[in-house]
Amino acid sequence: MAEKIDPIHQFQLVKIGQPLFHIGGTEVVLTQSSLYMIGAVALITIVMLMGTAGRSLVPGRLQSLVEVMYEFVASTVRSSAGHDGMKFFPLVFSLFMFVLVLNLAGMMPYGFTVTSHIIITAALAVLVILTVIIYGFMKHGLRFLGLFAPSGMHPVMLVILVPIEVISFISRPISLSVRLFANMLAGHIALKIFAGFVVTLLGAGLWGIISPLPLALAVALTALEFLVAVLQAYVFATLTSIYLHDALHPGH
């Protein structure tokens, strides 16, 4: 019984087949996580290509979906990173779609949530912050460091402000990755626990009478989790755009 409602079990990686090969000490093996990622990439690509296959002036349903996604992410990038931020549009779009599809895939019954593993969200956040740093130095050279020193400040103030700015910059990838990971993880654990209550109560004789309570909560949480799944993808894309804005315009 206790094994059945273990809320952590759903995050266990499952190996599929034998290890393909080894790189150093790491064995490379197909897991359900990698299958979900490959599936997400395939799904996004198929929808994007099928939606644009008609190239019709008046879009059909699939083309409308693709165009809405495009315009949505494009407007997010434009408003947060500015017009010159559109050179990062493919990156933000890929991140948004990848996170969105993986978040939503985790909402399937028996589904696995790839974004509930911090290594995935951390890798994506590091990718974003590396893009900011590398592009910032490439475009502005050492002036990019002006990001940490607000202009027009008294030198004494800078002594206090620069460390604060540096810490806030460093905390960006951490908050970016932990926010997504924690939301996904906590939501799925909560869902599992409440669903487990239903099962436990039903199996506990008279207590079964109050089992609809956690069921109602589980239903409400499911709706909330759908919202969180979409919202977190949007938040990830928006924050990415805001950070990229710093790479483009490091001055305060």
Partner 1 sequence: MAQTTTASTEHPAEAHGNFPPFDSHSFGNQLLWLALAFGALYVLMSKVALPRVAAILEERHNRVADDLAQAAKLKSETDAAIEAYEKALADAKAKAQAIAGETRDKLAAETDARRRALEADLHVKLAEAERQIVDGKTKAMGNVRGIAVDTALAIVERLVGKTPSADEVDAAVGRALPASQVQ
Nearer to partner 1, 8 or 202 (CB): 8
Nearer to partner 1, 14 or 174 (CB): 14
Whole-angstrom distance, CA of residue 9 vs CA of residue 115: 15
Q: Which helix (H) or strand (E) holds 166?
A: helix 155-202
- Grouping H, G, I as helix, E, B as strand and the rest as coil, residue 2 is coil
Rounded to the nearest 10 degrees, what angle do helices 89-105 and 212-248 cross at?
A: 170
Q: Is 33 in the site for partner 1 (CB under 8 A)?
A: yes
| Number of Cβ atoms within 10 Å of the Cβ of 59 | 16
Q: Is 34 in the site for partner 1 (CB under 8 A)?
A: yes
Phi and psi angles of residue 222, each rounded to the nearest 5 degrees, phi first: -60, -45
Listed ranges 54-62, 149-157, 199-207, 218-226: which one lies at the site for partner 1 (CB under 8 A): 54-62
Of the candidates 64, 79, 90, 157, which one interacts with partner 1 according to CB under 8 A? 90
Q: Is 45 in the site for partner 1 (CB under 8 A)?
A: yes
Q: Is 64 in the site for partner 1 (CB under 8 A)?
A: no
Listed ranges 21-29, 144-152, 199-207, 218-226: which one lies at the site for partner 1 (CB under 8 A): 21-29
Whole-angstrom distance, CA of residue 247 vs CA of residue 114: 29
Listed ranges 11-19, 169-177, 194-202, 222-230: which one lies at the site for partner 1 (CB under 8 A): 11-19
Question: Is residue 30 within 8 Å of 50, Cβ to Cβ?
Answer: no
Long-range contacts, 216-223 (Cβ 8 Å, 24+): 218/191, 218/194, 221/187, 221/190, 221/191, 221/194, 222/107, 222/191
Q: Is 236 in the site for partner 1 (CB under 8 A)?
A: no
Q: Is 9 in the site for partner 1 (CB under 8 A)?
A: yes
Which residues touch 12 (CB under 8 Å, ≥6 apart)? none
Q: Is 118 in the site for partner 1 (CB under 8 A)?
A: yes
Q: Is 84 in the site for partner 1 (CB under 8 A)?
A: no
Whole-angstrom distance, CA of residue 200 vs CA of residue 193: 10
Of the candidates 144, 181, 197, 243, which one interacts with partner 1 according to CB under 8 A? 181
Q: Is 120 in the site for partner 1 (CB under 8 A)?
A: yes
Interface with partner 1 by CB under 8 A: which residues?
8-9, 11-15, 23-24, 26-31, 33-34, 37-38, 40-41, 44-45, 48-49, 51-52, 55, 57, 59, 63, 66-67, 70-71, 89-91, 93-94, 97-98, 116-120, 123-124, 127, 181, 185
